[in-house]
Amino acid sequence: MATNLELRQLFQHGDLRNRIEPGCIIAATAVLNEAPGTENHSNRVIWALAVFENPSMMAARMHMALLGKFKDSTTAQIMGVADATLNTAIADLVNAFAVGS
């Protein structure tokens, strides 16, 4: 389990952030292609458009949430997480951020 200090250090880790940003873009693209009847769709679209407007800022927010989600993992496990797992975790967190404007 990563300590709070280790999690904080991972927040500054450029390689991890550079993997999260494309994950947000992938999730945003999926939202734009989802059925309009999807739960919370309108707010999810607002979130997706915000990702395309400022992917770096949205990745920073998602980065914090992911560190909280993976808090029970070691730093090595967090850094070694597969892109598919990371992208799924990002997609799972979209509704937490999709709260409208």
Question: What are 6-59's pLDDT values in tens digits?
Answer: 999 998 888 999 999 999 999 999 999 999 999 999 999 999 999 999 999 999
Q: Locate tokens 């967190």: which residue?
A: 93
Q: What angle do CA 57, 42, 21 make, to 5 degrees?
A: 25
pLDDT computed for residue 35 by the predictor: 96
Residue 4 CB coordination number (10 Å): 9
The domain ranges of the chain are 4-97
Q: Which SS3 state, helix, strand or coil, does residue 1 take?
A: coil
CA of residue 39 relative to chain centroid, distance = 19
What angle in degrees, to the nearest 10, is found between the helix axes of 55-69 and 4-11?
A: 160
